Amino acid sequence: MTKEEKHIIDIKNKRAAFEYFFLQSFVAGMQLYGTEIKSIREGKANLTDAYCAFDKDELWVLNLHIAEYRFGSYYNHEAKRQRKLLLNRSELRKLQLKTKEKGLTIIPTLLFVDYRGYAKLEIALAKGKHSYDKRETIKQNQTKRELDRVIKNYR
């Protein structure tokens, strides 16, 4: 296992894969307070309702819930505050142009702590699924589950 593949903490947005098609993904750093990174290392974060938006050529993640650190004093952070994402200028420009197209949005898919101890957010340029696409995804998941069950019983 290489250093890039080793993640200490993985917090996934399972609902995003059901609701959206992912077109392109990026890994972004985040500006965090000390109590936020401690809470993430405990696994106390939720990406379910999170989304990204631009404000004055900067990318921000909104509705990302990071629980307050249990040992934090009056220095503790707000659970759902806006957090700035750190990307290259060229990546920001590319994302900003793409989100102006109809139907495209930026969704956080994975929050992880890398081998150096930094919290990173994997974001994806996404397009929303229709209801018939969601039914197809459910059908594929069921057939995959049945195949796995048959293979497990065969061994």
> Which among 98, 20, 21 is positioned nearest to 59, based on CA atoms?
98
- 141 falls within a domain: no
* 112-148 pLDDT tens trace: 988 888 889 999 998 887 777 788 888 888 999 999 9
7 residue type, one letter: H
CATH code (residue 37): 2.40.280.10
> Which among 62, 38, 34, 37 is positioned nearest to 48, based on CA atoms?
62
- 89 falls within a domain: yes
Is the model's pLDDT at 59 over the cut of 50?
A: yes
Q: Tokens at residue 84, please?
A: 């700035």
Does residue 45 contact residue 14 with C-beta atoms inside 8 Å?
A: no
* 7-23 pLDDT tens trace: 677 888 888 888 888 88
Q: Tokens at residue 51, please?
A: 């989304």
Does residue 125 contact residue 28 with C-beta atoms inside 8 Å?
A: no
Is the model's pLDDT at 2 over the cut of 60?
A: no
Q: What is the mean pLDDT of the chain?
A: 84
Residue numbers of the domain that contains 91 = 9-129
The answer for residues whose C-beta is within 8 angstroms of residue 45's C-beta and 6 or more apart is 11, 39, 64, 65, 66, 67, 111
- 76 falls within a domain: yes
Number of domains in the chain: 1
> Which among 138, 105, 104, 148 is positioned nearest to 18, based on CA atoms?
138
* 107-118 pLDDT tens trace: 999 999 888 888
- Band the pLDDT of 44: cuts 50, 70, 90: confident
- 31 falls within a domain: yes
Partners of residue 149 on adjacent β-strands = none
- 45 falls within a domain: yes
Q: Tokens at residue 70, please?
A: 């249990």
The answer for residues whose C-beta is within 8 angstroms of residue 38's C-beta and 6 or more apart is 69, 71, 72
Is the model's pLDDT at 97 over the cut of 80?
A: yes
pTM over 0.85: no
Summarize the confidence of residues 36-63 as an average pLDDT.
87
